[in-house]
Structures are given as structure tokens and as C-alpha cells.
């Protein structure tokens, strides 16, 4: 029987997230637990998909970069229980730093493809106000004594400055201009209500101020100008190029996605927003971790039998503007290409580390619904300690243009003629 096993199609059914907050005492989630943010997302997925019986969920995978405190204790299982899912639904925690939620998706999607699962919930959370990145970490002294990694690899800002060194054509002016464009695109997407449909309202309590229902992201700074960013200091290097304006901030937030086999989605009447085509992870030198999306994308394209020209939409996590621009330059894509981050990115909306992968997927799925001329899109991100991750998705709403159809027909006729 095992010899006859077939890989099943995996579909992205739905995805939600909390509004992202600024980390710290003044942030909207200063007094909110990380696991409660995940619970909000799981409950919202169930509310939005009433045809899905809770007992049909086969797994809950939730990522966190710092797995301690209120985002520890095998958070996939604890969040499932706290969200009211049946005790029969298992769960686990996962960590691949910034690509945590993306890895939760690909790991459980592999289980669906293999036949171990029919329906899963995968996502991530990061409460950087409660758990600053690296807090409590104890790196093995061999990393330094044996020079296994460059010391700069342990500070993400330094790795971004290293990318600037490697690619001198990526100037601070370019990164600042890209950052301003990200802010503008996010503001435009909010004005068109392209962001709000996937946000879960979160009520928070602040001592002395009472309750607030948060329905929008806190980090965006609409109206930011290049002149504003030029005046910011560069904390990672004197006269450097990386600033708070052209990098993602420190943020809190959670995401969750519903994935299923194509057969289970049809059986349960669940929507299909995207179909998984391929995915890949790749390692690079830790001191230039931002280049990671390049080899990951090349590998994912190779596995899918596609080229970069086949990709109609790009959702690239903006940990740093230089990291996105190094990707675009490698593939010959212009800084302002309309296929790239149409709704803006993490520089504007925030990057709560392990949660961000599903935000990229939510935004790509929304764009697929809006643009039926696009067949394939990718979600990609760099990962701390020198890695990259890429997932390629297919648009179920794709409608070939008459030109594409006629070209395909001509190719087919030509091939048949040659065979004859």
C-alpha cells in the first residue's frame, strides 16, 4: 500500500492575525499575554469557517522564537486548549526564528500532503515586549572561540550593515526611499480596506485608562518622508546605513492560518484561497543572513519547475530594506516593481518575528482574490543565524489572458506538427 501512496494537494483556506503592536511598556499589548493573542486568532478562524467541526482539526502548530513564559509551555497545545478546541486535538511548538510561522505552515502542510492530516492550524506569536529577542539566551562559547560564526551574526542590525558592505550599490538613500514607499503602500492599502478583513480585534486593559478594542496596527508611520529618515541615527555602526526608519521595529502580535487537503476542503465546504506549489529553506553565512531568500527562492523555483519570470506577486518580509533590495537586485527586479509588497511590508506594519510568515500569506491570498491575472506568487523571508525561506503558491482564481491562451495553443500545435 505504501508504494501506491500519492502526495495530496495542500490548500490555504484562511488566515488571520492580530493587529501588530509596538513592543514595550507603551505598546498596546504591554498587559496582554502572548498565548491570549494566539487564542484570539484560533477562535477567529473557527468563527469565520463555521462548516469546520472543531474535532476535524488534526494538529495545531504555533511558532515562537523565544519559547519561554507566556509563549512557552508547548504553545501549540496550550493555545488549542485555551481556545476551546477539543482535547483530542494535539499541538506543538516550533522555532525557526523569523520563519517560525512559515515553518509551522510548511511542516503541517507536509503532513497533509503525506496523508497524516486533513485539516490543521498553523501560526506564530512573538511578544517582544515580554521577551526581547535573545533575552536569556546562552550561546555556546564555541561560536566565538572556534570562530564558527562571525560575532556580527548575533546582531541582526550588524548583518544588515554587512549586506550594505557586500552590495555598495544599495545605498542608504535607496533603502530610505524603499522604506518610505512601504509606509505609503500600507497607508493606501488601509484606505482601500485591504488590510482590515484579516485583522482580529483585540481588547486590552491599560491601568488607569480602562479597556480599548484594538482594530488597526500600531507601528505604521504614514506620511514619513525621505528627509525624516535621513535624520535618524544609525545605531549599529557610526556613519552606517541601517536605521530605525529602514528596518522593521520591535513588535508584538500573533497569526494563524487554516490549511487543508484539497479533498477535505471540498468535503467540508471550506474556501480555497491558495494552493501550495513548493517550498524551500536554505542556509547562508550567518553574518549576511539577509541574503537568505535568494538561494531559498532559487531552490523553491527549481522544485516547482518555474522561473522567476513566472512569479506575478512577491510578498517579501522587510526585516531590513537592504535585505529586500539585495533580493530584487539579484533577480533583476526594480525597487518599485508593482508586483512587490503591494500592501507595504514589515518596515511599516511591523515584524513580530515568528508570526510574520502567515502575515505574508494573508496578504498574498488577498491579492490573489483581487488580481486574477496572476498565476503564481511567493512568500519569502530571511532568517536569523543565516537562513532563508520561500513558499510558492498558486492562485485558484487565475484566469489566463487571451494572449496567454493563444500562445499556449500555438505552442501545442507547433509541438504536434514537429512530432508528426
Query: Which pLDDT score is estimated for 407?
Result: 54
pLDDT band at 408 (very low <50, low <70, confident <90, very high): low
Query: Which pLDDT score is estimated for 319?
Result: 97
Count of CB atoms within 10 A of residue 363's CB?
26
Q: Which of 185, 153, 215 is nearest to 340 (CA)?
A: 185
Q: What is the mean pLDDT of residues 141-165?
A: 88
- Report pTM: 0.94
List pLDDT tens digits, range 108-121: 999 999 999 999 99
C-alpha 115, offset from chain centre: 25
Q: From the DSSP assignment, how many helices (H) and strands (E) are in the chain?
A: 13, 12
The CA-to-CA distance between both ends of the chain, in Å, stands at 40
196 DSSP 8-state letter: G
Q: Which three cell numbers stand for residue 284?
A: 547562508
Query: Which pLDDT score is estimated for 133?
Result: 84
In angstroms, rounded to a whole number, what is the distance separating the alpha carbons of residues 371 and 242? 34
**Which residues contact residue 305 at a Cβ distance below 8 angstroms, ignoring those fewer than 6 apart?**
none
Query: Which pLDDT score is estimated for 135?
Result: 79
Query: Which pLDDT score is estimated for 2?
Result: 57
> 131, 330, 351, 397: which one is catalytic?
351
C-alpha 308, offset from chain centre: 19
**Which residues contact residue 128 at a Cβ distance below 8 angstroms, ignoring those fewer than 6 apart?**
23, 250, 251, 252, 352, 353
Least confident of 19-23, 243-247, 406-410: 406-410
> 127, 130, 382, 397: which one is catalytic?
382
Q: Strands (DSSP E) along 322-407, which ranges?
A: 376-383, 387-394
List pLDDT tens digits, range 351-372: 999 999 999 999 999 999 999 9
In angstroms, rounded to a whole number, what is the distance separating the alpha carbons of residues 372 and 15? 19
Count of CB atoms within 10 A of residue 385's CB?
18
Annotated catalytic, 351?
A: yes
Query: Which pLDDT score is estimated for 420?
Result: 39
C-alpha 90, offset from chain centre: 24
**Which residues contact residue 130 at a Cβ distance below 8 angstroms, ignoring those fewer than 6 apart?**
34, 69, 70, 71, 252
SS3 63: strand
Q: Kind of pairing, strands 376-383 and 387-394?
A: antiparallel
Q: Is the pLDDT at 413 greater than 80, yes or no? A: no
Query: Which pLDDT score is estimated for 77?
Result: 98
> 41, 98, 127, 164: which one is catalytic?
98
What CATH number has the domain spanning 2-130+146-397? 3.40.47.10
Domain ranges of the chain: 2-130+146-397
List pLDDT tens digits, range 257-300: 999 999 999 999 999 999 999 999 999 999 999 999 999 999 99
Annotated catalytic, 41?
A: no
C-alpha 222, offset from chain centre: 22
In angstroms, rounded to a whole number, what is the distance separating the alpha carbons of residues 40 and 37? 5
Amino acid at each position: 500500500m505504501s508504494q501506491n501512496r500519492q502526495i495530496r494537494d495542500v490548500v490555504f483556506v484562511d488566515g488571520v492575525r492580530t493587529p501588530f503592536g509596538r513592543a514595550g511598556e507603551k505598546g498596546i499589548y504591554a498587559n496582554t499575554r502572548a498565548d491570549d493573542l494566539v487564542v484570539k486568532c484560533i477562535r477567529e478562524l473557527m468563527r469565520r469557517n463555521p462548516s469546520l467541526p472543531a474535532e476535524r482539526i488534526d494538529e495545531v502548530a504555533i511558532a515562537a522564537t523565544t519559547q519561554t513564559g507566556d509563549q512557552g509551555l508547548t504553545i501549540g497545545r496550550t493555545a488549542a486548549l485555551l481556545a476551546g478546541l477539543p482535547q483530542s486535538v494535539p499541538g506543538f511548538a516550533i522555532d525557526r526564528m523569523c520563519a517560525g510561522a512559515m515553518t509551522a505552515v510548511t511542516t503541517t502542510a507536509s503532513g497533509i500532503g503525506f496523508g497524516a492530516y486533513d485539516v490543521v492550524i498553523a501560526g506564530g506569536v512573538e511578544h517582544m515586549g515580554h521577551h526581547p529577542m535573545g533575552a536569556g539566551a546562552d550561546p555556546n562559547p564555541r561560536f566565538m572561540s572556534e570562530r564558527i560564526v562571525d560575532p556580527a551574526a548575533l546582531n541582526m542590525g550588524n548583518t544588515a550593515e554587512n549586506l550594505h558592505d557586500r552590495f555598495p550599490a544599495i545605498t542608504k538613500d535607496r533603502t530610505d526611499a524603499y522604506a518610505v514607499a512601504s509606509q505609503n503602500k500600507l497607508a493606501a492599502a488601509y484606505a482601500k480596506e485591504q488590510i482590515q478583513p484579516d485583522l482580529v480585534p483585540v481588547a486590552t486593559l491599560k491601568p488607569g485608562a480602562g479597556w480599548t478594542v484594538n482594530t488597526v496596527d500600531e507601528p505604521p508611520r504614514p506620511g514619513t518622508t525621505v528627509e525624516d529618515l535621513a535624520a535618524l541615527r544609525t545605531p549599529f555602526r557610526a556613519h552606517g546605513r541601517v536605521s530605525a526608519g529602514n528596518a522593521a521595529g520591535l513588535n508584538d502580535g500573533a497569526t494563524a492560518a487554516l490549511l487543508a487537503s484539497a479533498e477535505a476542503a471540498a468535503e467540508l465546504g471550506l474556501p480555497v484561497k491558495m494552493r501550495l506549489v513548493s517550498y524551500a529553506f536554505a542556509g547562508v553565512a550567518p553574518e549576511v543572513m539577509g541574503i537568505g531568500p535568494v538561494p531559498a527562492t532559487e531552490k523553491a523555483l527549481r522544485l516547482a519547475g518555474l522561473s522567476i519570470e513566472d512569479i506575478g506577486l512577491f510578498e517579501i518580509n522587510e526585516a531590513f530594506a537592504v535585505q529586500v533590495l539585495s533580493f530584487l537586485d539579484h533577480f533583476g527586479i526594480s525597487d518599485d516593481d508593482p508586483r512587490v509588497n503591494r500592501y507595504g511590508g514589515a518596515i511599516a506594519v511591523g515584524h513580530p518575528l515568528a508570526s510574520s510568515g502567515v502575515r505574508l500569506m494573508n496578504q498574498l491570498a488577498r491579492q490573489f482574490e483581487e488580481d486574477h491575472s496572476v498565476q503564481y506568487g511567493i512568500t519569502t523571508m530571511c532568517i536569523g543565524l543565516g537562513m532563508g525561506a520561500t513558499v510558492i503558491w498558486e492562485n485558484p482564481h487565475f484566469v489566463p489572458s487571451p494572449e496567454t491562451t493563444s500562445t499556449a495553443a500555438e505552442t501545442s500545435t507547433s509541438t504536434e506538427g514537429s512530432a508528426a
